[in-house]
Amino acid sequence: MKLADILQKDRIVTELEATDRWEAIEELMSVLVRCGKISPEHRDEVTAVVKKRESSMSTGIGFGVGIPHASTELVDEAVGVLGRSLKGVNFDALDNQPVQLVMLFLVPQGQFQKHLHTLANIAKLLHNKEFRKSIEAAPDAETIFEMIESQCYGQS
């Protein structure tokens, strides 16, 4: 799956308030609950799964990017939310640099190949320096989503 397949413009936060990875995960989970992608009664359980994965090894992959992710039986489809922080979030990233883009995604339990494929596609896309810079400079969520669609599907 491509990033544009699991994201919508209403799931893009243009300025995260979070200062660390745990706050960022909480903030992005709130968006998934608000958008109806996670039921409120499952929020804590899903958040715990993501935090457990994150505790085993930071998903701050470097280059100002964090990709917290998990699989859970509490989602029916792959779903994601993107957060941008112009001031940077302490994510305990591999390169010890703050993270400007946090892409949280969830896949249904048992879809290991989809999980890996989605993770690889997101990492590859966000590894592109020019693309990251354009997202960081975008004025709003709609523009960011259009840029992601264009990058994923070649639309203008």
Overall average pLDDT of the 96-116 stretch: 93
pLDDT of residue 114: 85
Give residue 37's domain range: 3-153
Say how far apart CA 95 and CA 63 lie, in whole Å.
8
pLDDT of residue 156: 43
Say how far apart CA 127 and CA 140 lie, in whole Å.
21
Overall average pLDDT of the 1-6 stretch: 89
Three-state DSSP class for residue 118: helix
Say how far apart CA 97 and CA 116 lie, in whole Å.
24
Say how far apart CA 128 and CA 94 lie, in whole Å.
17
Q: How far is CA 11 from CA 112, 114, 131, in A?
A: 23, 20, 19
If one counts the domains in the chain, the total is: 1
Say how far apart CA 41 and CA 122 lie, in whole Å.
28
Q: Each residue of 71-104: pLDDT tens digit?
A: 999 999 999 999 999 999 999 998 999 999 999 9
Say how far apart CA 76 and CA 41 lie, in whole Å.
15
> Residue 122 — φ and ψ, nearest 5°?
-65, -45
Overall average pLDDT of the 146-152 stretch: 93
Say how far apart CA 98 and CA 20 lie, in whole Å.
9
Report pTM. 0.94
Overall average pLDDT of the 146-151 stretch: 94
Overall average pLDDT of the 62-66 stretch: 94
Whether the CB-CB separation of 20 and 98 falls below 8 Å is answered with no
- Does position 155 have pLDDT exceeding 80, yes or no? no
pLDDT of residue 154: 75
Domain at 53, CATH number: 3.40.930.10
Q: Each residue of 5-62: pLDDT tens digit?
A: 999 999 999 999 999 999 999 999 999 999 999 999 999 999 999 999 999 998 999 9
pLDDT of residue 77: 92
